[in-house]
Amino acid sequence: MCWILLLLSIWAFVSFGCGILLAPWLNNFTLPGTMYPLGFWFAQQGSIYIFVILIFVYVLLMNRLDRKYGVKEA
């Protein structure tokens, strides 16, 4: 449950945080190695990549928990 809350806070931070509320400030910087203004990158690219990673991290965590508690599905 803690893990889920942590993953959800990252979810909210990258989208509502970096992608919206902090975006005007982050736009003063560019993503290193590219010409992307950082706030723009979070809003239109980065948040989506991070969403995908979050789900796969969740999948790995849950599969590990299943193994730890010996849960087997048919």
Interface ranges with another protein (CB under 8 A): 4, 7-8, 11, 15-16, 19-21, 23-24, 27, 31, 34-37, 39-41, 43-45, 47-49, 51-52, 54-56, 58-59, 62-63, 65-66, 69, 71-74
Residue 37 DSSP code: B
Quote the least distance from Cβ 65 to another protein, whole Å: 7
Contacts of residue 47, defined as CB under 8 A and 6 or more positions apart, other chains included, come to 14, 15, 18, 19
CB 8 → another protein: shortest distance, Å? Answer: 6
**Sequence-separated (6 or more) residues with CB below 8 Å from residue 8:** none
Min dist. Cβ of residue 20 to another protein (A): 5
Give one word for 49, left, alpha or beta, with left for phi > 0 and alpha for psi -120 to 50.
alpha
